[in-house]
Chains A and B, each alone.
Chain A
């Protein structure tokens, strides 16, 4: 397979032109609205039907749709963009693979480990399709391409354009209500303590005289409970993994730690607000988008949610005055505690190349632009703080609101990259493939405690830890019996300093 390169244009002149494009993009939204994809790379074959792109839509969908269309015009190829919710994408992609109708490039279903998709023959690497590949890759920040995450066997399978370094579970609040509750100093630089949050929720409810409640959560969407509980535990200092198989796993000991005091305190905060009558009634039956909508209507004072709301709210309810702050910490001493994500590149946004793609060279050509500073700035203008560009410089240069910049700064300050067992030993993908999570999971357990169906926070969470430890041991044993070289020690990072990013150098020391 031959490599794609840009003919008739030196790398220097190409970089100069893309840098110039960045300046043009900064000059104003009107100019930034169209992109210069440069000349078609040498050796670009004629298109074999339309170039098809499938992802989960949202904010990034706006960007892809716009620029992929422009790209199609520039290269004179037809493009088809589809943005589907996760639930649909999770079924559409496997079906498309099995009947050879999957798009050229797509997001992988949520629960599918990339290593499994590769071993099943779903994917092929980008290396030969992205022009000037090695230099292009070098421009990305450290940690953007990680063996076991988007690189497998030295080949790059996952194209990343956004970062996981975002405060996914921050406190977003109605500024007026918060001020009236006496917490006008809370903001991106100052978080609430647990007791302050409970007090603020109580006062907001009281001040509104029945028209609003202190706190709201989209509790019908079960995963929200786990996300919030884990963030609260992390802010309490529990060095636990976020989401996936390692959610709640203490990465220093390799044991599930749902009964850690930090987890217990976090869950008790939620139950305390419930007992105070400060939680929006009906929170158990609304989904996250409904909860987000209610807070903008003045029905609630605080929500624990992600930065993706900021650009949407600023656009849709421009007159609503809201503030952002990091997730609450148990006490003043814990204020600087970070929260952790398992990797720098966002795996949910990562694009993968179909092994049977009809137009892989066109996908590579587009991704080449997308992964340049020009493409990243164009993206940052739309991805904003919700789905930040993976080039931090691009986000800094993008024309974003004050709140969005505050949110990005908050992420830089508080969000750290934790060690990731799957990076340490990619064979753990085989453990994930056979792992059967016990029921109830963390999310279901917290929902059950909140609904009053489960009693005793500490005991219930201890049961959960025991069940998940047992399930993980069983999965490891099964994977081993199938030939995987894995052990429980792969989950132990005893020397990890939780205050800093765990990077390639740290993995090398293991």
Chain B
């Protein structure tokens, strides 16, 4: 916090108001924060705390009598091969989608950032359109597009003699995650492009003009001027994209529901199956599902910290640390 000092006070630490007094003096600011804090508390903090608590229970969600089981759910999860596979699949899916999404988003952003390009606004809108379309609709449409029976994609492949028989993109275990990754990248590249476009706004126009006067080619401008300037944004964009990729539940639920035979079951689908869609004859396992959620959260947090450390280290190497 900045303290305003009189000239006579220079050289001695500024007098600090007591905390209560400071809060009181900024009471209007705090008042405006209250609605946001209530919503944040109710929908973020409380569910987080409740999940941690539920993860220590043997509880179906129906009964009032939940049994405290300590870490038993966590121990059981670490021996559950379906949990480990789902966790692994979630991160593999992230690796399959994020780099491609970032690369495509960057290419689109650089091309569409060119003010001389005609209809760039229209192209931006078209690329962004899938982002605003509801996931459930996207899922159904893609199931139809990829259908091996009468889907147009298979139609083109067959008509062009590119394949001998129709491909079951979403029903073939070895292919399903790639198909879902393709749909995911198609849906979310638009938002990554917007992030990159925002980053590109930080490149001063003078640099482009100077490069133009010096007769530098566009490719060189991009490689030697633009990319180094916008590179720090990559970490943030990668992080946001990774979080999106880890939250892929609606798309998978609308297309494969985790099938066939778990081959597209990512972590959120695993959690949903245990919490709300147990097999016939079994009660839901809310405690178990909550424990899975907690472990998933911890894994994401761990990766985020690793990423933050990597970014900090990279900046330090470049001598940027402290000069931001």
Chain A residues close to B by CB (< 8 Å)? 87, 90-91, 94, 109, 111-112, 116-117, 120-121, 213, 219-223, 226, 243-247, 280-286, 294, 299, 432-433, 435-437, 439-441, 443-444, 447-448, 450-454
Contact = CB atoms under 8 A, between A and B. Distances in A.
Contact of B281 (A246, A452, A453): A246
Interface residues of B, number: 36
Contact of A299 (B149, B262, B280): B149
B38 to A, nearest CB: 18
A213 B60 CA distance: 42
B82 interface: yes
A226 B173 CA distance: 20
Nearest to A450: B260
Given A222-B259, A285-B255, A451-B171, A443 B280 contact: yes
A112 B283 CA distance: 7
A296 B64 CA distance: 47
Given A111-B283, A243-B281, A451 B64 contact: no
Contact of A220 (B62, B150, B256, B285): B256
A437 B284 CA distance: 10
B90 interface: no
26 contacts: A87-B276, A111-B278, A120-B64, A220-B256, A220-B257, A221-B257, A244-B280, A244-B281, A245-B282, A281-B147, A281-B148, A282-B168, A283-B171, A284-B168, A299-B150, A433-B283, A435-B283, A437-B282, A443-B280, A444-B279, A447-B260, A451-B259, A451-B261, A451-B263, A453-B173, A453-B263
B61 interface: yes
B294 interface: no
Nearest to A286: B143
Nearest to B63: A120
A282 B283 contact: no
B276 A247 contact: no
Given A281-B148, A283-B171, A453 B277 contact: no
A222 B263 CA distance: 13
A294 B166 CA distance: 18
B62 A284 contact: no
B171 A282 contact: yes
Given A94-B61, A220-B259, A433-B60, A281 B280 contact: no
Interface string B248-286: 000000011101111100000000000011111111110
A429 B283 CA distance: 11
Contacts of B82: 439
Nearest to B147: A282
Q: Which 4 A-B pairs have the closest CB atoms?
A: A284-B171, A245-B281, A448-B261, A281-B148
B171 A285 contact: yes
A299 B171 CA distance: 18
A282 to B, nearest CB: 5
The interface centre, meaning the residue of A213, A222, A243 with most chain B CB atoms within 10 A of its CB, is A222
A213 B276 CA distance: 34
Contacts of B166: 281
Contacts of B149: 213, 280-282, 294, 299
Interface in B113-156: 143, 147-151
A286 B279 CA distance: 19
Contacts of B263: 451, 453
Contacts of B261: 440, 444, 447-448, 451, 453-454
Nearest to B258: A222
Nearest to A213: B149
Contacts, number: 125
Contacts of B257: 220-222
Contacts of B150: 299
Interface of B: 60-64, 80, 82, 143, 147-151, 166, 168, 170-171, 173, 255-257, 259-263, 276-285
Given A444-B262, A448-B261, A285 B281 contact: no
A459 B63 CA distance: 37
Interface centre among A87, A109, A439 (most CB of B within 10 A): A439
Contact of A285 (B63, B168, B279, B284): B168
Nearest to A435: B282
B260 A448 contact: yes
Contacts of B62: 94, 109, 112, 116-117, 120
A490 B28 CA distance: 68
Contacts of A112: 62, 283
A436 B147 CA distance: 35
A109 B170 CA distance: 30
Contact of A432 (B168, B256, B262, B281): B281
Contact of A90 (B259, B260, B276, B285): B276
B283 to A, nearest CB: 5
Interface centre among B60, B147, B149 (most CB of A within 10 A): B149
B285 A436 contact: yes
Nearest to A249: B281
A476 B255 CA distance: 38
A282 B148 contact: yes
Nearest to B284: A111
Given A120-B63, A285-B171, A447-B260, 7 more contacts: A112-B62, A117-B62, A243-B280, A285-B147, A285-B260, A436-B282, A450-B260
Contacts of A109: 62
B57 to A, nearest CB: 13
Nearest to A433: B283
Contacts of A299: 149-150
A221 B285 CA distance: 20
A223 B280 contact: yes
Contacts of B61: 94
B245 to A, nearest CB: 21
